[in-house]
Amino acid sequence: MTGEQIRATLKKYSLQSWSKQKDINPISVKEAEGIYFWDYDGNRYSDMSSQLVNMNLGFGNKQIGDAIKAQVDQYCFVGPGYGAQSRAKLAKKIVELMPDNIGKVFFTNAGAEANENAVKMARIVTGRHKVMSRYRSYHGASFGAGNLTGEPRRFALEPGIPGFVKFFDPYVYREAIRFETEEAATAYYLEKLEEQIRYEGKDAIAAIVLETITGSNGVIIPPQGYLPGAKALCEKYGIIMICDEVMTGWCRTGKMFGFENFDIEPDIVTFAKGVTCGYVPLGGVAVSKEIAAYFDDKLLSCGLTYSGHPLGCAAGVACIEYYEEANILENVARSGKALGEQLERLKNEHPCVGDVRYIGLFSAVELVKDKETREALVPYGEDPSGVMKSILGMLKERRFMTYTHENIIIVAPPLTITEKQIAEEIAKLDEVLGVVDKEYI
Ligand SMILES: Cc1ncc(COP(=O)(O)O)c(C=O)c1O
């Protein structure tokens, strides 16, 4: 097929996620290597969002490909009740990478299912039914995970599941109150959270689900002390803390898992994306020893045909080995520092940049009409004149590929990116922000 034939066939026969179908116009990808991919006309694009913040090791990693091929040669599949070596190896590796309190892993196909199963386990173990999650969150698109999700992508599922309660995020930049210190912000948000726990009925809440660092909704990094404080509240009220590490896991934030930046030990960790870097889909739920022990003599009422798919697990083992052997965390520290410096420069130089937030190679550029008032470039949940779409279009013209959410541009390149590549790519973003300064604010 030609690139045009692929595009036309997809437009005619397939439905694309989160899109008005008449608007879709997929780039047909012919080749891909490292942080780049090429279309059928030979144009090179830079992947500045690691696709959906999942291809942490970029395209064309031979070690992962070889591990998948070796598993294909042994066998592609045996059911979850059989012993597959890649499944055993991956479960052990993941538990060893997690904090000491974590005991076992339940594998899923991807992130939404991981969250679904985490909530199910928390409800079974606690005998409670309510689940709290935040407004500015994305936890997946399936029915349960979509109900955990707080942002507008949950609306199509409403009226939602009874007992799924939302609370506010520690989104300090966009808060009406100006806090003197991070600690003051933390105290405010934790007090509100505790109040809400009591209003909801402290004995009814099974779990609090949080993206350790909010991802798609704007890389919202919690203020100092917030996560340990939330964990303390969970302990006080017998609530299970579920950290959604689907995006923040696997070296993305400069640590193997995002929660390591905040010195907490979650009761449950959900993961997907970077565990296999998208080479084969896989996700999972890592649970505390206590929760694992609960299921020693109680039924684990969870199951999937493809739980622990041998190909996914083989890819997972290869990814983890690569993260470790290639010292990916060192590159994240080096390139992440370069990215942070560039983003700070953009914030200083462009009136349209209200805030930049970054940790490791996970970052967001928040666009505003006015730096002083912090008025967002587009109002929440609305972009009637397609401003953000135009901005994305200008980035695409420069072959800088990423996605936006509300008034925010996500920059989260593969973790193998070099400092030189960061400088080359940010120069493109710089140019586009110059146009936004002149034409959109
Ligand atoms: C934080 C978070 N949780 C869950 C999910 C859902 O994962 P999946 O699309 O693999 O089901 C995503 C996807 O973007 C995510 O960012």
- d(CA 210, ligand 1 centre) in Å: 12
The answer to whether residues 279 and 393 belong to one domain is: no
| Measured distance CA(306)–CA(109) in Å, rounded | 7
- Mean pLDDT of all residues belonging to the chain: 98
Based on the fold, state whether residues 89 and 111 are members of the same structural domain.
yes
Pair of tokens at residue 219: 């890389």
User: Separation of 142 CA from ligand 1 center, angstroms?
Assistant: 10
| Confidence class for position 426, pLDDT limits 50, 70, 90 | very high
> How far is residue 213's CA from residue 246's CA, in Å, rounded to a whole number?
10
408-411 sheet: strands from edge to edge: 353-359, 362-367, 408-411, 404-405
Whether 51 is in the pocket of ligand 1, judged by its Cβ within 6 Å, is no
19 and 135 assigned to the same domain: no
Is 159 found in the same domain as 29? Answer: no
pLDDT at position 60, please? 98
**Distance in Å, CA 323 to ligand 1 centroid:** 21
* CATH number for the domain that contains residue 238: 3.40.640.10
Q: What is the DSSP letter of 405?
A: E
**Nearest CA-CA partner of 104 in 118, 90, 91:** 91
In the numeric block, the tokens 């949080």 are attached to 210
Same domain? For 117 and 151 the reply is yes
Single out the residue in 325, 351, 375 at which a domain terminates.
325
pLDDT of residue 431: 98
| Residue 430: other Cβ atoms inside 10 A | 14
- Are 163 and 294 contained in the same domain? yes
DSSP states of 245-288 as a string?
-TTTTTTTTSSSSGGGGTT---SEEEE-GGGTTTSS--EEEEEE
Task: Say yes or no: 80 and 50 in one domain.
Answer: no
At 70-101, the pLDDT tens digits run 999 999 999 999 999 999 999 999 999 999 99
Q: Is the CB of 52 inside a 6 Å radius of any atom of ligand 1?
A: yes
* Number of domains into which the chain is organized: 2
Ligand 1 neighbourhood includes 403 CB (under 6 angstroms) = no
Helix runs in 277-407, H state only: 289-294, 310-325, 328-349, 387-397
Structural tokens at position 20 = 């008005």
Question: Of all residues in the chain, what percent carry a pLDDT higher than 70?
Answer: 100
The domain that holds 354 is classified in CATH as 3.90.1150.10
- Do 52 and 76 fall into the same domain? no
Task: Tell whether ligand 1 has an atom less than 6 A from the beta carbon of residue 140.
Answer: yes
The residue range of the domain holding 413 is: 3-60+329-439
Query: Ligand 1 center to residue 219 CA distance, Å?
Result: 14
Per-residue pLDDT band at 267 (split at 50, 70, 90):
very high
Q: Give bridge partners of residue 102 from the DSSP assignment.
A: 288
Give the dihedral of Cα atoms 134, 139, 141, 142; nearest 10 deg.
Answer: -100
Q: How many angstroms does the Cα of residue 55 sit away from the middle of ligand 1?
A: 13
Q: Measured from the CB, is residue 210 less than 6 Å from ligand 1?
A: no
pTM, entire model: 0.98
Q: Are residues 214 and 162 in the same domain?
A: yes
Closest ligand 1 atom number to CA of residue 111: 7
CA distances for 121 relative to 88, 115, 133, 148, angstroms: 21, 10, 16, 15
CA 272–ligand 1 middle distance (angstroms): 7
Q: Can you give the pLDDT at residue 97?
A: 98
The pair of three-digit structure tokens given for residue 207, joined into one six-digit string = 């779990």
DSSP symbols for 195-219: HHHHHH-GGGEEEEEEESSB-TTT-
Give 156-198 pLDDT, tens digit per residue: 999 999 999 999 999 999 999 999 999 999 999 999 999 999 9
Residue 116 CB less than 6 A away from ligand 1: no
Contact, 245 vs 53, CB < 8 A? no
- Of 291, 325, 359, the last residue of a domain is 325
pLDDT single digits (tens) 53-67: 999 999 999 999 999
Count of CB atoms situated within 10 Å of the CB of 78: 14
The gap between the terminal CA atoms of the chain, to the nearest Å, is: 43
Q: Is residue 7 domain-shared with residue 99, that is, in the same domain?
A: no
pLDDT band at 328 (very low <50, low <70, confident <90, very high): very high
Dihedral Cα 33, 39, 42, 45, nearest 10 deg: -60
Q: Are residues 336 and 319 in the same domain?
A: no
Q: Which of 271, 199, 202 is nearest to 239 (CA)?
A: 202
Q: Is the peptide bond before 99 cis (omega within 30 degrees of 0)?
A: no
pLDDT in tens, 108-127: 999 999 999 999 999 999 99
From 306, 325, 344, give the residue that closes a domain. 325
Q: Best of 248, 250, 273, 275 to mutate for ligand 1, by most ligand atoms within 8 A of CB?
A: 273
Does residue 227 share a domain with residue 287? Answer: yes
- Asked if 57 contacts 415 with a C-beta cutoff of 8 angstroms, the reply is yes
Segment 312-334 shows an average pLDDT of 98
Q: From the CA of 213, how far away is ligand 1's center (Å)? A: 13
User: By CB neighbour count within 10 A (0-12 exposed, 13-18 middle, 19+ buried), where does 184 fall?
Assistant: middle
Ligand 1 pocket check for 190: Cβ under 6 Å: no
| CA nearest to 233, candidates 132, 368, 373 | 132
> Is the beta carbon of 112 within 6 A of some atom in ligand 1?
yes
10 C-alpha to ligand 1 centroid (Å): 24
Q: Is the CB of 138 under 6 A from ligand 1?
A: yes
Exposed e or buried b per residue across 215-242, where buried means at least 16 C-beta atoms within 10 angstroms of its C-beta = bbbbbbbbbebbbbbbbebbeeeebbbb
Q: What is the pLDDT of residue 6?
A: 98
State the pairing for strand pair 283-288/404-405: unpaired
